[in-house]
Amino acid sequence: MSASTVSFANNLGFTVTVYDSYSNQDKTNYFGTLTSLATVPANTTASVKLIHQTSVLIASNATTNSPLARFIYIPDFLTGPFSVGQGDVDAMAQTMDFITFITTNQNDPLTLAFQALWKDSSTPKVTPVNKFFTQHPAYASCTFATYMMGITYTAELPPAKAKPMDQAVYALSTLVNFLGGTWPPGFPDIVVTNFTCNTQNDVLAIQADIDLKKLPARSDEALQFFGSLFDVQLVQVSVSINYGVSVGVLGTRLSISLDAMHVPFANSTMTINKPTVTIDINPALMFVIFTVAGQIPFNIFGKAFEADVSMTIDNIEASFGVDIEGDNTSLPPPLGMQGVHFDKFGVGIGIIFEPPAAVIGLLGQLHIGDPDKGTQVALDDDTFAVVCQFVSEVPDPLYISFYVPQMHLTDVLTVFTNAQCSLDVPVSFTDLSFKWAQNPMEPVVLPDGSLTNMSYGFSAAANILAFSFYGDVEIDMTNGLTADIEMAPLALGSIFSLGGDGTGVSIKVDASGNPIKNNQLATTAAQQQALNGASMKQLVPPGGPVLKLQTFASPFLHLNGAVSLFELDNTSSSDLILHVGGSFGFGDSTCSFGDFTADVHIQRLSDLLSAIITNMEQNAEQVFTDMLGTGASWAFNVKQAVITGVDSVASVLHNVYNQDAAQVALTMEDVGYTAQDVASALQSFFGMSEKEVAQTMQQAAYTGEQVAGALRAVFGNDAEQITSALQSAYGWTASEIQSTLSQIGFTAEQIGDAFKSLGGDLANVGEKILHGLGL
């Protein structure tokens, strides 16, 4: 059906403009969106073409733009003709007088009685207002309709009064006050356009358009974020007034209802379904409060639920209140996370403006293990966090975090896996920080600074026979545990230092030095600030040994580097294969040794050190090749104490540098070893007798006197054996031998007895010595 044309008579002495007043909520609105239909000259009747089937028309003075009258067109019921005359002018003048009176006489009984009508929310407004005017003769021509037109004209800002009514700009504070509300003193005004008033179902409904960029917000960041929630700058709001307003109670509220809202969220978008946006004017504040309430759908590990959210936009952040619809008493764990039971949960969300941050996830309580089977794990902190990210505007789990104070390796296997392990080395873990990652191939940084670089596992301190490591342990339900864990480098006195390829381990700590927890949702600016202000603390310095742990096959423990970390008691070497390698300081240089397998039954640290030293002795030429190319160079550094801890110089010279006994003696003599040192080395390593030692040292150019003294120091006070050795090595006469033995402390009687026992020419000399002594 096409729109109708009505007859409109202007019985006034000035031109009148006729407007269509439209509202999609109420076709018989009292003040709607205005569209100019016609200009009717003074004292003229004109045909006005309507643009709606049912229409509300408002006539105004085309010169002053002041309203004159309101008409309703309803097909077949109210069809006109319509006219505007002096009676309408008088009625509007009377209405403007009333508005002036209540403005200037706010405590007058008449004013208070009128305001009371608006504050009674139990009754419709139109009928009581009309009745009020009829009861006061001075304002008997006034109606609810003329009052609404009058207050809109009064609320127009001065520059707008010179423009047609459909271009009017209004002060919201004026409209609120005339509708019985209270605009907080000193509160910045809000400019609105397209003001409308409807009474659908006898309920007063007020709407207007606002410019989002011109709202008095608490901060520019808050206003900018609120504006980013809309595709347009100018939005239509519903206006509601709390007539019981007081300090601490919200006053005027502007609200917006949408089908969906797309909220900027880090590098993605969060969708809130069926949101209601409110802009509240609080008498206690000098800025508006932005709130968004709606629903967010979740599907976490197969559990689908809706969360009712309420987002409040503050000056530095958007904080959220969340209520879960339906069951929140259980949450299934992801596939492969055996032994973990999420008992109850809630949702946490937060958006921080500067520096930009956003977080969404689940927080709740859990228990680990089965109490009926006696495997439940004691927890100091039973909180878990499921941190999510938005994928196609739907929350998707990113990682899970929870903590366990301590567990033994066997308990970890029992509770979390179907695997078993025959490792009999006791391994215990403390401060286990569990983490599950949706995609370990794209690791994210956790609050403590670590990465989600494995599907499921934990970071922990590991105690292995009283030695401490730290690192990540990965859990597999079938294969058990695997880990690369590190310890700090260990210096072994002045002998050498052992290290490894460890990269070091650091975590984030707060201002008090406490570790940052991962099982939290930093949903507030204060929490984010604490994370941003956290500093790194080194738990394990780099350069230490790395222990590879696996529980599905031998070797269960495989150490590369500083194996001096272990002091094993009653441990089978089949359980522990030690690949030893390291470095040590040598003068101003550094030498490296290994890797080699310490294939010995190691029960103490001393056993391990012995294995290391033996290996170094056997490979000295290779270990010290850069600076000790010859046995003499090596022996010299041992003699100068540059190299210490060497039990047998002769062993190294013979086994490494391929020197025979004579060469060993000569090398040791050349680098400054005493005759006694050389004799001792020949006796202890080569197993030589006194005679063999003397002969070897004679070849190394030691004098008979030096050899004699060395033999007595090494072999003891056996004058007979020393005499035989000197005679054999040097071919000395009895007189020469007697003189040398006397010099090294033998008595004449000892010499005589020795000579007599040897027989031959020496026996004759011996008898003479004894005879001279009277023996």
What is the β-pairing status of strands 5-10 and 44-49?
A: antiparallel
pTM equals: 0.66
- Asked whether the predicted pLDDT for residue 25 surpasses 50, the reply is yes
Q: In angstroms, rounded to a whole number, what is the distance separating the alpha carbons of residues 255 and 206? A: 11
- Asked whether the predicted pLDDT for residue 395 surpasses 50, the reply is yes
**Which position has the higher pLDDT, 373 or 142?**
142
In the numeric block, which tokens belong to residue 736?
């020469």
- Asked whether the predicted pLDDT for residue 692 surpasses 50, the reply is yes
Q: In angstroms, rounded to a whole number, what is the distance separating the alpha carbons of residues 94 and 138? A: 8
pLDDT at 131: 94
The beta-strand segments (E) located in 62-130 are: 67-73, 82-84
pLDDT at 2: 64
Instruction: Write the DSSP string, 502-554.
Output: ---EEEEE-TTSPBPPSS----SHHHHHHHHT-EEEEEE-SS--EEEEESSSS
pLDDT at 578: 53
> CA triplet 506, 509, 514: central angle to 5 degrees?
120
- Asked whether the predicted pLDDT for residue 541 surpasses 80, the reply is yes
For residue range 462-493, list pLDDT tens digits in order. 887 667 889 899 988 888 888 888 887 766 54
For residue range 97-128, list pLDDT tens digits in order. 999 999 999 999 999 999 888 887 667 788 89
The owner of tokens 């301590």 is: 406
In the chain, the percentage of residues whose pLDDT exceeds 70 is 85
Q: What is the rounded average pLDDT for all residues in the chain?
A: 84
- Asked whether the predicted pLDDT for residue 390 surpasses 50, the reply is yes
Which DSSP category does 74 fall into? B
pLDDT band at residue 442, thresholds of 50, 70 and 90?
confident
Domain ranges of the chain: 5-214, 328-564, 660-772
508 neighbors 447 (Cβ within 8 angstroms): yes
SS3 per-residue string spanning 669-696: HHCCCCHHHHHHHHHHHHCCCHHHHHHH
For residue range 211-265, list pLDDT tens digits in order. 999 999 989 999 999 999 998 999 988 888 877 654 445 678 899 989 999 999 9
pLDDT at 224: 93
* Span 5-214 CATH architecture: Sandwich (2.60)
For residue range 602-636, list pLDDT tens digits in order. 444 455 556 666 666 666 556 555 455 677 877 78
256 neighbors 236 (Cβ within 8 angstroms): yes
- Asked whether the predicted pLDDT for residue 576 surpasses 50, the reply is no
Averaged over 385-396, what is the pLDDT? Answer: 90
Q: Which of 184, 195, 235, 186 is nearest to 214 (CA)?
A: 235
Provide the residue count of the chain. 775
Percent helix, strand, coil in the chain, to 5, is 30, 35, 35
58 neighbors 21 (Cβ within 8 angstroms): yes
- Asked whether the predicted pLDDT for residue 313 surpasses 80, the reply is yes
Which DSSP category does 376 fall into? P
Q: In angstroms, rounded to a whole number, what is the distance separating the alpha carbons of residues 376 and 404? A: 11
In the chain, the percentage of residues whose pLDDT exceeds 90 is 37
pLDDT at 215: 92
In the numeric block, which tokens belong to residue 376?
């439940």
Q: In angstroms, rounded to a whole number, what is the distance separating the alpha carbons of residues 697 and 706? A: 9
The owner of tokens 């391994």 is: 427
**Which position has the higher pLDDT, 556 or 91?**
91
| Beta bridge partners of residue 46, listed in sequence order | 8
pLDDT at 453: 83
Give the three-class secondary structure for 148. Answer: helix
Most confident of 357-366, 423-432, 753-762: 357-366
Residues contacting residue 232 through CB under 8 Å, at least 6 positions apart: none
Averaged over 292-309, what is the pLDDT? Answer: 93
482 neighbors 550 (Cβ within 8 angstroms): yes
Averaged over 431-448, what is the pLDDT? Answer: 89
The upper half-sphere exposure of residue 194, i.e. CA atoms within 13 Å in the direction of its Cβ, equals 14
Buried-exposed string 175-205: b where 16+ CB fall within 10 A, e elsewhere: bbbbbbbbbbeebeebbbbbbbbbbeeeebb
pLDDT band at residue 574, thresholds of 50, 70 and 90?
very low
Alpha-carbon torsion (32, 38, 40, 41), positive or negative: positive
- Asked whether the predicted pLDDT for residue 381 surpasses 50, the reply is yes
Q: In angstroms, rounded to a whole number, what is the distance separating the alpha carbons of residues 21 and 44? A: 22
Q: In angstroms, rounded to a whole number, what is the distance separating the alpha carbons of residues 347 and 352? A: 17
pLDDT band at residue 43, thresholds of 50, 70 and 90?
very high
Q: In angstroms, rounded to a whole number, what is the distance separating the alpha carbons of residues 319 and 5? A: 54
pLDDT at 629: 60
| Beta bridge partners of residue 6, listed in sequence order | 48
- For the chain, the first-to-last Cα distance in angstroms comes to 162
At 264, the amino acid letter reads: P
